[in-house]
């Protein structure tokens, strides 16, 4: 397999290490027989000529001694219906065991008291930092508009007044507007979101473009469904597509899009971007539901979010139906590897965050990553504070946005954990 040489990889010799189970998406995936981990690596702050400033996707690396972990995943308060299984023989991707909520932390102590919930009645929360300002958006409960909120601190978002920047066509009474994400990409402000087209469930990845430099005060223009490259008959065409996110790959100097699409199950796909509204390549299947925890009530991989840290690129995603079974999985790739080569990716065989009844966390997921007030890494995610839902879970609007402080183990792997004292410290009431 041809490898792409990058600065990070040239600093250390990479030795193969068997860390977990391996599987394949049939002909879709042909993984290596091992997963490589650098024995040691000294990193310096990278130059990001085209990366969005202070976006939260890039962290200033610190010096780490990276050691391969041979331990399995520790428990994350499992529920009996959420027990995981061994990798199915034909399941899909290279899988790796990791320590979650365990192991020695290689990251500094995180501080700051953040409100919980930060924002109520906002599923699919997205918090973006740019030039010292925070911008928040998420799925509006009626699924008919996009709002933006701005503040100079994370907690400031809770008190700031949202501004409606776009509303779906008033002539359409049965359409969905889902999961908006704000990005500063290639010199312009863009919002990616899912929007019903010809019918309620004909949902496609769409985009808005800000006509100026101020996302809160300048006009926004609807750009329509994302465009694909010539010869691509699949993207945004076969089944429902939604939850698009984008990231800048520093080593390759390229932008990529990741989104969910549902030809049968809901899978994640990745493609290079030619511009903020057009794919440059054919899509690659990144992950599909392989394990029981990804298939509870519905077979779903959706809501991708990108975190770059210590020579790795991590993609979290959400799995299963949107009730208490909803949970978060994790993918990983070396930053010096080509993300369009399937066997370069590693998939963790167990959820990294899931329902914890003892903490009244039910159905956590659809997260994003952002730098906090003190420079720490945060994960913004939604969950409910109760298990039982009457009727359609989409019409239960009590998925509130919360803040999770992320730490990293000795291998640079993010640790997903919320302390009890950080939960439910602000007054709120559920929608009835």
Positions marked catalytic: 124, 302
Distance CA 327, CA 81 (A): 12
391-405 as b/e: b if 16+ CB within 10 A: eebeebbbbbbbbbb
Per-residue DSSP letters for 347-394? Answer: E-SS-SB--BGGGTBEEEEEEEEEE-TTS-EEEEEEEES-S---S-GG
Q: Provide the token pair at 55.
A: 């976006």
How remote is the C-alpha of 340 from its chain's centroid?
18
Angle at the Cα of 263 (from 258 to 265), degrees rounded to 5?
85
Q: Which of helix, strand or coil describes residue 327?
A: strand
**C-alpha to C-alpha distance for 420 and 366, rounded to whole angstroms:** 21
Assess contact for 86 and 73: CB atoms under 8 A.
no
Give the whole-angstrom CA distance, residue 61 versus residue 43: 6
Strand-strand pairing, 284-287 and 267-275: antiparallel
């Amino acid at each position: 397999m041809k490898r792409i040489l990058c600065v990070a990889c040239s600093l250390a010799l990479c030795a193969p290490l068997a860390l977990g189970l391996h599987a394949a998406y049939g002909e879709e995936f042909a993984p290596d027989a091992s997963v490589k981990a650098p024995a040691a690596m000294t990193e310096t702050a990278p130059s990001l000529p085209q990366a969005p400033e202070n976006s939260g996707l890039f962290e200033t690396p610190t010096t780490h001694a990276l050691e391969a972990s041979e331990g399995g995943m520790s428990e994350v308060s499992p529920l009996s219906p959420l027990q995981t299984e061994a990798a199915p023989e034909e399941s899909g991707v290279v899988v790796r065991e990791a320590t979650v909520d365990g192991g020695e932390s290689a990251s500094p102590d995180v501080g700051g008291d953040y409100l919980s919930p930060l924002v109520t009645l906002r599923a699919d929360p997205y918090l973006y930092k740019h030039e010292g300002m925070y911008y928040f958006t998420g799925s509006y409960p009626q699924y008919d508009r996009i709002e933006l909120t701005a503040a100079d601190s994370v907690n400031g978002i809770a008190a700031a007044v949202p501004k409606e920047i776009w509303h779906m066509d008033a002539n359409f009474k049965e359409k969905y507007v889902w999961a908006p994400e704000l990005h500063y990409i290639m010199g312009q402000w863009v919002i990616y979101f899912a929007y019903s087209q010809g019918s309620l469930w004909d949902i496609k990845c769409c985009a808005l473009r800000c006509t100026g430099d101020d996302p809160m005060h300048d006009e926004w223009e609807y750009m329509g469904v994302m465009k694909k490259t010539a010869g691509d008959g699949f993207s945004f065409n076969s089944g429902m597509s939604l939850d698009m996110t984008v990231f800048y790959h520093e080593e390759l100097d390229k932008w990529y899009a990741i989104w969910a699409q549902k030809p049968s199950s809901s899978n994640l796909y990745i493609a290079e971007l030619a511009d903020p509204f057009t794919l440059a390549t054919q899509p690659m299947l990144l992950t599909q539901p392989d394990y029981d925890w990804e298939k509870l009530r519905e077979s779903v991989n959706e809501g991708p979010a990108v975190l770059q840290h210590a020579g790795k690129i991590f993609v979290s995603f959400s799995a299963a139906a949107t009730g208490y079974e909803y949970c978060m999985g994790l993918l990983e790739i070396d930053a010096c590897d080509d993300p369009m080569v399937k066997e370069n990716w590693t998939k963790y065989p167990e959820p990294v965050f899931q329902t914890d009844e003892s903490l009244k966390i039910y159905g956590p997921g659809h997260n994003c990553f952002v730098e906090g007030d003190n420079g720490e890494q945060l994960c913004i995610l939604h969950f409910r504070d109760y298990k039982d839902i009457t009727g359609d879970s989409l019409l239960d609007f009590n998925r509130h946005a919360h803040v999770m402080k992320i730490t990293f183990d000795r291998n640079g792997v993010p640790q997903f954990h919320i302390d009890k004292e950080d939960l439910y410290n602000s007054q709120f009431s559920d929608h009835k």
